[in-house]
Amino acid sequence: MEKRQLGKSGIQVSVVGLGCNNFGAMPLDASRRVVDRAIDLGITLFDTADVYGNRGGSETQLGEILGARRKNIVLATKFAMPMDDSGSKSGASAAYIRRACEDSLKRLNTDWIDLYQQHRPDPKTPIEETLRALDDLVQQGKVRAIGCSNMPADQLEAAHQTSRTKHLAAYVTAQDEYSLLVRGIETALAPVLEREAMVLLPYFPLASGLLTGKYEKGKDIPSGTRYSRMGRFGERYMTEENWGIVEGLTVFANANGHSLLELAFSWLLAHPYLASVIAGATSPAQVEQNIAAAGWKLNAAELSEVNRLATKS
């Protein structure tokens, strides 16, 4: 499988990654089958977080499943979201980062984390304190590279300025929502990524399923799908405008001998600042489907037309 660099880190990852947010909620054997198939097919990026799987379940399952294969993959996890109900185990203070990292290392059954990501900004902690703590982890060999998620463009620029002036480790990745239906990062964040030689790891690349082709306007939502479990959250995607875009994109993809799912993956990978499309899977078949979807190389004319079809009024 094609690989790309995680910014300036020197770490290479497969262009299709495995999102591990379902692990911990899934039985261990089911998670194991997904991981085994992903590794067999060349996926090297496994993305989790301490909060996934009911606070720790995803990391714990990965720690049990990977074994000796851990050294052959790029393991990414996150910190900052609440790990208890009191709020004492959350944020990006130096003390909490040290604690959170040790907890993640223990659950993951590993000595190092390849990409340690700040899951969300912490307005209560100065960015220099956060970056110094992360830099310490890098210097200690417990973390190879650092990233952020959901950080506004101006805060990300300020973080890079701090890293430069204080000679601290800098964020090499940003994990933010990006898809054919949600393109907000293009205005402010993407220019910062390109300027700082960072890369994007998009979440919700399929708009929580609306870009899979499973759903049709006016028809009942199939049981067992993500949208059937999302309730009102799904309404942010299932708008009249989005349905119109999906219809146009589906016609375009089919006319070119491809599926909407293939278009969603391939359009993302047409962006040079994007390193890997992280997609979750609950079965080996989904892993296979996600990998196959990344095979369409859009030419300039196709990319231009897709951008036109996906532009909102």
Query: Would you please indicate which residues are annotated as catalytic (active-site) residues?
Result: 52
**DSSP letter assigned to residue 177:** B
- Please spell the DSSP secondary structure of 216-282, one letter per residue: -TTSPPPTTSHHHHHGGGGGGT--HHHHHHHHHHHHHHHHTT--HHHHHHHHHHTSTTB--EEEE-S
The CA distance from 38 to 182, in Å, is 27
The CA distance from 146 to 172, in Å, is 6
Contacts for 250 with CB less than 8 Å, ≥ 6 apart: 213, 260
Residue 62 φ/ψ region, left for φ over 0, alpha for ψ in the -120 to 50 degree band, beta for the rest: alpha
**Cα→Cα distances 227→19, 214, 220, 232, Å:** 18, 10, 11, 9
Nearest to 210 by CA among 183, 232, 229, 237: 237
Tell me, rounded to whole angstroms, the distance of Cα 7 from its chain centroid.
15
